[in-house]
Structure 1
C-alpha cells in the first residue's frame, strides 16, 4: 500500500547507510533517524541526523533489535539536540528493501518512517507504520534525496 507521506533524506546520510550496510554484511545494521517529523498521512518528514545502533538480535543475519537502554540514550541525545524521532533504519543484506513479516510484527512506532537498505538488489525503500483496527500496516512512502 502506498501513502502520500514523504521522507526527505540527505544524500550524505543515504551514502553513509549504504556504506555501513556493506561493512556490516552479512548481518543487518540498524539505527534511528532524528530531524523533523510530520506524522500526518500526507506529512513530509525530514532527516537531519542518523544515530547508528548496535544490532543485538539473537539472529542478526535476519533480524535487528536495538537494546532498550541504547535506544533510550539515542532518544535523549536527539531530543537534547532539538530533534524529533523521525524513524528507524535497518538493512536487508540479502533481501528486498520492503518490510518483512518480522519487521511488521515488531513495528511499534506509529506514523514514523522505517527505511530499509537492501544490498541485493542495491536499493533503499521507505515505509510509514500506520496503526489500524487490524493492528497496523506499513505504507510505502516517497523517498526524496537531497
Structure 2
C-alpha cells in the first residue's frame, strides 16, 4: 500500500522530533483514506519519555471528537526514536494491535511509515502530495 503525505506533515514530524530530543515526541496523523494531510503534536505523558511514548489521552479524545464533527480523521500515530532508527522497536511491536492504523517513526532526520497489521508492522511507501 502506498500513501500520500503532505510536505507540511513531513515538516511537522521532523521539527517535532528535533525539538523534543532527547525525549520522544508523539502525536496523531490526520487525513482521510490513504492520505496524511497533517500531523498533530500531542504531549508525551510517558513517565519515561527518553525511551517511551504515550500520547496524551485528552489529545486523542479531542481529535476523535473533531473527526465525528466533520474534521479530519485520525488515521494513525507518530513518535520518534531519538537515538535509534525509523523502524518499529521491540516495544512498538509489543503494542501492535493490528488495527491497520498508520504509524510514522522519525529518527536520524528520516521519516518512515508503517501499517499496524495483524501480521505486525508492514513498511509503507509514500509520496509527497500537496495538491
Per the normalisation by structure 1, the TM-score is 0.81
- Could you tell me which of 120, 123, 126 is aligned with 1:140? 123
Separation in 2, partners of 1:93, 1:50: 18
| Residue of structure 2 in register with 1:41 after alignment | none
**Tell me, what secondary structure is at the counterpart of 2:97?**
coil
> What residue is the counterpart of 2:16 in the other structure?
20
| 1:125 pairs with 2:112 | yes
Root mean square deviation, CA, Å:
1.5
The 1:46–1:89 alpha-carbon spacing in structure 2 relative to 1, beyond 3 Å, is same
Alpha-carbon deviation of 1:84? 2.3
Aligned length in residues: 129
Distance in structure 2 (CA, Å) of the matches to 1:9 and 1:35:
9
User: CA separation of 1:108/1:80 partners in 2, compared to 1, >3 Å: closer, same or farther?
Assistant: farther
**Separation in 1, partners of 2:40, 2:97:** 18
Question: Does structure 2 retain, via aligned residues, the 8 Å contact 1:34–1:78?
Answer: no
Q: Which runs of 5+ in 1 are unaligned?
A: 38-44
Tell me the CA shift for residue 75 of structure 1: 1.5
Q: Which residue does 2:59 correspond to in 1?
A: 70
Q: Give the Cα separation in 2 of the matches to 1:53 and 1:114.
A: 14
TM-superposed deviation, 1:50? 2.1
Structure 2, unmatched stretches of 5+, are: none
Whether the aligned pair in 2 keeps the contact of 1:7 and 1:144 (CA below 8 Å) is yes
Distance change (3 Å), C-alpha of 1:34 and 1:109: farther
SS in 2 for 1:140: strand
Is 1:33 the equivalent of 2:22? no
Shift of the alpha carbon at 1:8? 1.2
SS state at 2:86 partner: coil
Moved over 3 A (4+): none
